[in-house]
Amino acid sequence: MEFFDREYELAEVKELEKPGSRMLVLYGKRRVGKTAIIKKEFSDTKAKKLYFFVPRNEKINNLIKYYAELTRAELRLKEYEKIESFSDLIEILFEYSKRYKIIVAIDEFQNLKYVYPEAIDILQREWDLQEASTNLSLIISGSVIGMIKSIFAENGAPLFKRAYNMLEIKEFSLEKTFELMKMLKIKSFEDMLKIYLLFGGVVFYYALMDYYSIDSFDKVIEKLVISPVAPLKDYVKTDIIEAFGNKAATYFSILEAIAAGRNKNNEIAAYAQIKETSLSQYLYDLKYYLGIIDTETPPTESFKPGSKKNRQIITERFYSFWFSAVSKNYSYYELNDMNGLSVKINEALKYFLPQSFETFVHEFIKFLSKKGRLFHVDAVGNWHGKNPERPKGFNEEEIDAVAVNKKTHDILFAECKWTAEQIDANVYNELKRKARLVQWHNNERHDHFALFSKSGFTEEMKEIAKKEGVMLFDLEAIEKALNF
């Protein structure tokens, strides 16, 4: 797939080509495109360049031999110039950068903590000694977000303030992802939306689609998931095992619980069969090290650690799908029963797509706000609370999407339906009933309402919407809003 977007990030990387030594950190979740940015820079620059990847489970001696071969070839080292240690490597790079501009990328840098932790101190020492008088630029890339921040961003960290900038590489935005799918010639807007519900804005998945010439949602499932050689069959499992080793089983259970809707801390702990007091460290790892979960609080509430109103959510869509659909049916791969797997996956999609559509609506509401089609949104998310008029145990109420402006006290209430039926007035009336339960600036707020439907709206609902100013979004209206 051709390189797409990232103009601001590339412009910042281009700064590394200027005379002098600079260090730039690129960090973000796995497969969001950090390495692609490095490769793009390397394809364009006239500087000498070296790319060093750090696998977590490799021996440092083997890595040094490999890095030495790359360095010898790129810098044309003399026969007597030996690289037998990490110190030798860094010294050679600084020495040769007095003659040439050299850009070195160290990818998955945080793995040095496992492979050879002394390397970080060596780099710090040499950088402090030689940075001012040499011409070496470093691109430090990492996907274990918490570890990268602990090395570069925390006061007292080994390389604190050595990097002139730290760029978080995020998923593509909503509009950019749909623009990318249009370039990939996806057949219909509904297919585009379903693919987005599955993959979000993670570029890796779209590169796979391009590689396999996939142009529809059904082919995504058939080629990338339901096949004995499906490239996404083990993708999530491998990530978790690589990150957590022999503790991976507990993280699997936690993610399975969240994917199944058991997203309160006590529910997660019970499902994973661990003490609730032990759960926080696991959640911290998944949130800050891998960046694949987050804690969601109703937008009308202020975040409070330990609050019973907090919910854990999986923020990377395909992880959520994998744990809700693939993980529990993995035995079908082992039995080579692709027909049986297909039945199970399609059953799971009936539940996954409506849930993911809610998350999409949250993003779409932010998009509408950014485009000036809605008040400025400070917070958006699912709302859940108690109905005082119902008996305990039967008084839980939810609204699919609530968005607020904390200054103007504007509040939007929305329901989302990914079904074959059109939304009628009953859904809207029920939404208004639940909106009255939301305790938030009750005497001074400005209520707004919106409905999102895969299959459209009844004529009665359309008439009510005109009279009461309800925003209606079917697939056609969503497509139009995204400027297709």
Do residues 49 and 104 make contact, with C-beta atoms less than 8 angstroms apart? yes
Do residues 276 and 265 make contact, with C-beta atoms less than 8 angstroms apart? yes
pLDDT at 484: 59
pLDDT at 90: 97
Tell me, yes or no, if the two domains 7-168 and 235-336 fold the same way: no
Beta bridge partners of 166: 25
75 is written with which tokens? 């810098």
Distance CA 388, CA 395 (A): 7
Local structure of 410: helix, strand or coil: strand
> What value does the CA radius of gyration of the chain take, rounded to a whole number of Å?
25
CA atoms within 13 A on the CB side of 455: 10
Do residues 341 and 269 make contact, with C-beta atoms less than 8 angstroms apart? no
pLDDT at 161: 84
Give the domain ranges of the chain: 7-168, 174-224, 235-336, 354-481
Distance CA 45, CA 40 (A): 9
- CA-angle at 371, arms to 369 and 375, nearest 5°: 30
Do residues 202 and 171 make contact, with C-beta atoms less than 8 angstroms apart? yes
Do residues 309 and 323 make contact, with C-beta atoms less than 8 angstroms apart? no
Residue with tokens 């209430």: 413
Q: Provide the 10 A C-beta neighbour count for residue 384.
A: 14
Q: Which DSSP category does 302 fall into?
A: -
Do residues 117 and 150 make contact, with C-beta atoms less than 8 angstroms apart? no
pLDDT at 130: 93
By C-alpha distance, which of 305, 312, 237, 304 is closest to 269? 312
Distance CA 79, CA 74 (A): 14
Q: What does 187-243 look like in DSSP terms, one character per residue?
A: S-HHHHHHHHHHHTT-HHHHHHHHHTT--SHHHHHHHHTSSTT-TTSSHHHHHHHHH
Strands (DSSP E) found in 59-187: 102-107, 136-142, 165-168
Distance CA 400, CA 436 (A): 15
Q: Are strands 48-53 and 102-107 parallel, antiparallel or unpaired?
A: parallel
Q: How far is CA 464 from CA 46, 251, 447, 457, in A?
A: 63, 48, 16, 11
Local structure of 251: helix, strand or coil: helix
Distance CA 354, CA 308 (A): 25
Do residues 454 and 415 make contact, with C-beta atoms less than 8 angstroms apart? no
Backbone φ and ψ of 291, nearest 5°: 70, 35
pLDDT at 72: 97
Distance CA 10, CA 40 (A): 8
Distance CA 267, CA 103 (A): 49
What's the fold here for domain 354-481? Trna Endonuclease; Chain: A, domain 1 (3.40.1350)
Distance CA 176, CA 189 (A): 14
pLDDT at 459: 98
Residue range 72-108, pLDDT digits in tens: 999 999 999 999 999 999 999 999 999 999 999 999 9
Considering the domain 7-168 in this protein, what is its CATH number?
Answer: 3.40.50.300
Distance CA 16, CA 38 (A): 11
What's the fold here for domain 235-336? Arc Repressor Mutant, subunit A (1.10.10)
- Residues of 50-78 as b/e, b for ≥16 C-beta within 10 angstroms? bbbbbeeeeebeebbeebbeebbebbeee
Distance CA 291, CA 324 (A): 19
244 is written with which tokens? 């957590």
Longest dimension (CA), the chain: 85
Q: Report which secondary-structure segment, H or E, holds 404.
A: strand 396-404
Residue range 417-463, pLDDT digits in tens: 999 999 999 999 999 999 999 999 999 999 999 999 999 999 999 99
Whether the full predicted model's pTM is greater than 0.85, yes or no, is yes
Residues (pLDDT < 70) of the chain are 484
